[in-house]
Structure 1
Amino acid sequence: MQTILGSNGQIGHELAEELYKNYTQELRLVSRNPKRIHPSDQTVAANLLDYDETLAAVAGSDIVYFTAGLPMNSDMWEQQFLVMLDNIINASKQAHSKLVFFDNTYMYPKNDTPQTESSPLLHEGRKSTVRAKMAKRLIDEIKKGDLPIVICRAPEFYGPDNTKSITNSMIFNRIKAGKRVFIPVNDKTKRTLIWTPDASRAMALIGNTESAYGQTWHLPTTKGITYQEMLKISEQVLGKPIKYSVIKLWMFKLGSLFNPALKESMELLPRYRVDNVFLSNKFKTKFPKFDVTSFEAGITQILDN
C-alpha cells in the first residue's frame, strides 16, 4: 500500500496516476475531501493537524508521500505546517512506513548562485523560514535513522490542468484566456521551472528506489528559460503574436499595500530579478534514462488543451 497525503492537489493527483500505472494499484488517497482516481483506490478523509486521524490515514502503508499544501498565507503556514509534519513523521514511524517528502525552494538564497542539494537553508521571509524549519526537521530525522525518509525538492511549477504557480497564472492562463500577459519583474532572466508531471514521475521513481532514501534530491528539470523565450515558443504554437507587460518589483510593492494575496508573494519576487538556476545533476546521474519534458513539449500541451 502506498499512500498520498494531499491527493487532491496537482502533484498528488499526477503522482497517483504514475504510481498506479507503473508501481502499484494499491493506493490510498488522503485529503480532507479525497476523490477516487482509479476504481481500486482507497480514500480516507483526514485532518493532518490531528495525530489520530493522521495515524489512521497512514496505517498499513509501505510508503507515505507528503504532497499536501496550504494556501499562500504566512499565519497559516506558521501555525499548521510544522504540526502537520510532526504528526506525519510520528505516524509514519508508528506505522513502520517510509516517508517521501515533497519540498520546494522557498528557503534557498534569492540570488543567481546555482542551487544544489547542499545549498544553505535561509530564514528570510516568513514562509521561507517555515520551509527551512521543515527541511531541518526532516534532515535531523534522517540523521537519527529511525525512519526511512527522502526529500524531493522542486523549483517553481508550470504544467497542465489546474497547476498553481506564478508562471501559470500570469503567463499561460492569460494566454489561454486571450488576455495580455503579465511578466513578473524581468523578462530577460533565466527561470528554472519543473513540468508538474515530471515532478510526480520523478518522485514516484525515487520513492520506489531503496537506495535513494536518507538523502535530498532535486527533481529533474531542463535548462532554464527566459520569459521572452517562453513567449516565443507560445507564439510558434499559436501562430500569432502575444502582447505582454513587465510588472516591475516596485509595482508589486505598491499593489501589495492593497492586495493581501499579492503581499503574500512578495518574499519570492526578488528571485525574479536574477537568473534562477536549479541544478538536478544528481538525479540525472542516478536515473539517466528519465526523460525530462522540454519546454516546447510542455508549452504545446498547455496551450493545445
Structure 2
Amino acid sequence: MNGFNRFRARGHRVRAVSRGAATGPHDVQAATAGAATAGAAAVRADITRADGAVAACEGAAVVYQCAQPKYGRWTQEFPDLTRTVLAGAEAAGAKLVMADNLYVYGPVDGPLSEDLPHAAVNPKGRVRADVDELILGAHRSGRIRATLGRACDYYGPGGVNTVLGPNVFAAAPAGRTIRWIGELDQPHTVSYLPDIAAGLVTLGERADADGRAWHLPAAEPVTGRTFSALVGAEAGGEPRVAGLGRSAQRLPGGVRAGQGHSACRGCGGDARLVPVPVGGEREGRPGGAFSGLLTWCRPRRERPLGATDHASKPLHIPRPFVLSPPIGSNGQSRAR
C-alpha cells in the first residue's frame, strides 16, 4: 500500500483493486478504512477477465499494474493477464504504468542500464520480455499511453514476498541465520518499497516518461554482509549470516532465486525525471527503513500502515544498475 499512501499525499483520488479477500500487510480494506472522504476506495475485481479489468479501470486516468500471477505460473498466465489489463486501460482511456523487474536482461557482466537488450533466455525472463513488448507495443500503436518502472530486489513494510523477506527480515528477529542469495561481499542494490512507489507515481504523472522503461532510483549498493549486519543491529542482535549459491537455491526447501538479484543503481537516463527520495537513509544508515519491515515480520506485533516514514535525501544523479553474481557463477552476474 506504499503507492496508495503516495497518491493520497499528492491529492489524487485512488482506487485500490484486489482480486479477493485480502489479508496481512497488503489488506486493501485496512489500507482504505475510513478513507472514503479522502477520495480513496477499495474494490474487488478479477482482472484476469477482460470484463473484470474494464470494470476495475473504469474512470481511471492512470492504471498502475502491480499484479502478477503466482511465480510458478508466469509463463502460462502473465501474457493473458497483461492483455486484459491493456483492455481495461484502453477502455478507460487511461495511461498504464507497469511495475517491472530485471528479468528481461538475462545474464549481465557489469552495470545495467535501460538500453541493454532483452537477452534473457530462461522462460521467466522471456515471458517478462514478452509482457513488456505487449505494453510498449500497445503504446507505439496508439492504443494507450504506457511506461514501465523497473526495480531490484525490494524490502519495506509488507514486502515479505521477496528473497529479502523470509531470508533476511523474518530470520533476524527470530534469531535464525540470515541467508543472503549470492556473494556476501559483492555490492548489491536493494529497492525500498516506498521509493518504488514514489518512482511509479512520478512516471504516471509525467508525459515525458511515456513509451519506454525506466530504472527506478535506489540507494547506493551495499554488500550482503553489511546489509545483514544492519538488519541484525536493528533487530537487536548480531545474526549469523550465510551466502547461498545457485546449487543451494535448488535444494528441496531452499529459497527461490531472486527477481533480478542485483546491485541496482537508479534512473539511468534523465536524472530530472524521477527525483524521488532514496530509501532508508537516515544519518547514513538505513535503520529507519529496516525497523518498519522488522515490525511486519515479528509475530504478535501490531503492524501499522505507514510505520516507516523517514527522512531521506533526494537522488539527483543517474546511475546504472549492477548485478551481484551468485556464488559459483564464475563471476557472471545474472538478473533472474
TM-score by length of 2: 0.75
1:42-57 correspondence to structure 2 within 5 Å: 42-57=41-56
- 1:234 Cα shift? 3.0
**Partner in structure 2 of residue 226 of structure 1:** 223
Q: Structure 2 vs 1, CA of residues 148 and 234 (structure 1 numbering), >3 Å: closer, same or farther?
A: same
Aligned length: 279
Could you tell me which of 239, 245, 248 is aligned with 2:245? 248
1:115-126 correspondence to structure 2 within 5 Å: 115-126=112-123
Query: How many angstroms apart in 2 are the aligned matches of 1:87 and 1:240?
Result: 47
- 1:105 Cα shift? 0.8
Q: Structure 2 vs 1, CA of residues 208 and 124 (structure 1 numbering), >3 Å: closer, same or farther?
A: same
- 1:276 Cα shift? 3.5
Query: How many angstroms apart in 1 are the aligned matches of 2:157 and 2:175?
Result: 17
Farther off after superposition, 139-148 or 216-225 = 139-148
Q: Does 1:14 align with 2:5?
A: no
User: Contact 2:172–2:235 at 8 Å: present in 1 too?
Assistant: no
- 1:225 Cα shift? 0.9
- 1:198 Cα shift? 0.7
For each residue in 1:12-40, what CA deviation from the matched residue of structure 2 results, as whole angstroms up to 9, or x when unmatched?
x111111012131x222212126332321
**Partner in structure 2 of residue 214 of structure 1:** 211
Q: Does 1:90 align with 2:87?
A: yes
**Partner in structure 1 of residue 263 of structure 2:** 276
**Partner in structure 1 of residue 277 of structure 2:** 291
3-state SS of 2:170 partner: helix
Q: Structure 2 vs 1, CA of residues 234 and 42 (structure 1 numbering), >3 Å: closer, same or farther?
A: closer
User: Contact 1:191–1:277 at 8 Å: present in 2 too?
Assistant: yes
Q: Does 1:80 align with 2:90?
A: no
Could you tell me which of 16, 24, 30 is aligned with 1:29? 16
- 1:283 Cα shift? 5.7
The root-mean-square deviation of aligned C-alpha atoms, in Å, is 2.3
For each residue in 1:131-187, what CA deviation from the matched residue of structure 2 results, as whole angstroms up to 9, or x when unmatched?
011011122222223311111111111112343211222112100212121222321
**Partner in structure 2 of residue 157 of structure 1:** 154
> Match of 1:105, as an amino acid?
L
What is the identity percentage for the equivalent residue pairs of Structure 1 and Structure 2? 20
> Match of 1:22, as an amino acid?
R
Query: How many angstroms apart in 1 are the aligned matches of 2:50 and 2:143?
Result: 19
Q: Does 1:178 align with 2:169?
A: no
Runs of 4+ in 1 over 4 A off after TM superposition: none
Query: How many angstroms apart in 2 are the aligned matches of 1:163 and 1:57?
Result: 26
User: Contact 1:66–1:102 at 8 Å: present in 2 too?
Assistant: yes
Could you tell me which of 132, 135, 140 is aligned with 2:132? 135
3-state SS of 2:67 partner: coil
User: Contact 2:114–2:268 at 8 Å: present in 1 too?
Assistant: no
3-state SS of 2:164 partner: helix
Q: Structure 2 vs 1, CA of residues 278 and 119 (structure 1 numbering), >3 Å: closer, same or farther?
A: farther
3-state SS of 1:166 partner: coil
**Partner in structure 2 of residue 62 of structure 1:** 61
Query: How many angstroms apart in 2 are the aligned matches of 1:15 and 1:119?
Result: 28
Query: How many angstroms apart in 2 are the aligned matches of 1:121 and 1:214?
Result: 16
> Unaligned stretches of 5+ in structure 1?
1-12
> Unaligned stretches of 5+ in structure 2?
23-27, 297-336
**Partner in structure 2 of residue 7 of structure 1:** none
Farther off after superposition, 156-165 or 278-287 = 278-287
For each residue in 1:38-80, what CA deviation from the matched residue of structure 2 results, as whole angstroms up to 9, or x when unmatched?
321333322122111111111111111111022221xx21221
Query: How many angstroms apart in 1 are the aligned matches of 2:237 and 2:46?
Result: 47
User: Contact 1:113–1:277 at 8 Å: present in 2 too?
Assistant: no
User: Contact 1:157–1:163 at 8 Å: present in 2 too?
Assistant: no
User: Contact 2:102–2:151 at 8 Å: present in 1 too?
Assistant: yes
